[in-house]
Chains A and B, each alone.
Chain A
Amino acid sequence: DGGITQSPKYLFRKEGQNVTLSCEQNLNHDAMYWYRQDPGQGLRLIYYSQIVNDFQKGDIAEGYSVSREKKESFPLTVTSAQKNPTAFYLCASSTRLPGQGETQYFGPGTRLLVL
């Protein structure tokens, strides 16, 4: 099956702890994204990567870090500097179809809870 997988589905973090959320895609997409979804605020972009070994900050990058060492993987680390990390985190990837521009596809998400 082709798609985007995120693990774990639920993640609990203690105060002051760093945690890493996994995102893997086997769609051969070049671009990958991390969003944070909070009630009433829609999706806000944390980081995105257009190609391996390159990534850019989104609108709310503070307290987060990413790496893109492989095309299929784009892990997100939520650091202790992120003061309000409880949220639903969505990973996405996109491809440019001929004559159609980019289309984005989403994983099932990881819900992070701070204890």
Chain B
Amino acid sequence: AQSVSQHNHHVILSEAASLELGCNYSYGGTVNLFWYVQYPGQHLQLLLKYFSGDPLVKGIKGFEAEFIKSKFSFNLRKPSVQWSDTAEYFCAVNGWAGNQFYFGTGTSLTVIP
């Protein structure tokens, strides 16, 4: 079975600090990878996604993620966070052959002004 691990449960950063959130998955086949963000009081939004090609994916609001196949990882990065990035971040995996999505437990990010 597929599983997704997010190692950081709570992250607190000051504005302008760099961010890296870890995501590892266990699945032997071809996967599609996603990061979703849930701002306070808002619904889950797609931040970025990887399907194929360049393993460095750029998303909205200056976020990027790198797919490292050998490490089964898809870490999310942002060079300089803002207070408005305070949110919960979820990594998700979808196997190429099926519709089912698997989500990590989420990382709560708090950015202090």
Task: Give the CA-CA distance A102 to B99 in the complex, in Å.
Answer: 7
List the A side residues contacting B6 at CB < 8 Å: 42
Known: A100-B51, A103-B49. A31 touches B99 (CB 8 A): yes
- Kindly provide the distance from the CB of B35 to the nearest chain A CB, expressed in whole angstroms: 12
Binding site for B on A (CB under 8 A): 31, 33, 35, 40-45, 48, 50, 58, 90, 92, 94, 99-109
Would you call A107 and B96 a contact (CB within 8 A)? no
Q: In the bound complex, do residue B92 and residue A99 qualify as a contact, i.e. CB atoms below 8 Å apart?
A: no
Give 11 CB contacts A-B under 8 Å.
A40-B9, A40-B105, A43-B90, A58-B100, A90-B43, A101-B32, A103-B46, A104-B34, A104-B92, A106-B36, A106-B44
A50 touching B99 in the complex, CB below 8 Å, given contacts A40-B9, A101-B94, A102-B32? yes
B83 within 8 A of A: no
B binding-site residues for A, Cβ under 8 Å: 6, 9, 32, 34, 36, 42-46, 49, 51-52, 90, 92, 94, 96, 99-101, 103-106
Do residues A43 and B103 form an inter-chain contact, with CB atoms below 8 A? Answer: yes
Residues of B within 8 A of A109 (CB): 43
Q: How many A-B residue pairs have CB under 8 A?
A: 57
Shortest distance from the beta carbon of B63 to any chain A beta carbon, whole Å: 16
Question: Could you tell me the distance in whole angstroms from the C-beta of B97 to the nearest C-beta in chain A?
Answer: 10
Cross-chain contact B101 with A41 (CB below 8 angstroms): no
Q: How far is the CA of A9 from the CA of B100 in the complex (A)?
A: 25
Q: What residues of A have a CB within 8 angstroms of the CB of B101 in the complex?
A: 33, 45, 94, 102, 104
What 11 additional pairs, Cβ within 8 angstroms, besides A43-B90, A92-B44, A102-B101? A42-B104, A43-B103, A90-B44, A99-B51, A99-B52, A101-B51, A103-B34, A104-B34, A104-B94, A105-B46, A107-B43
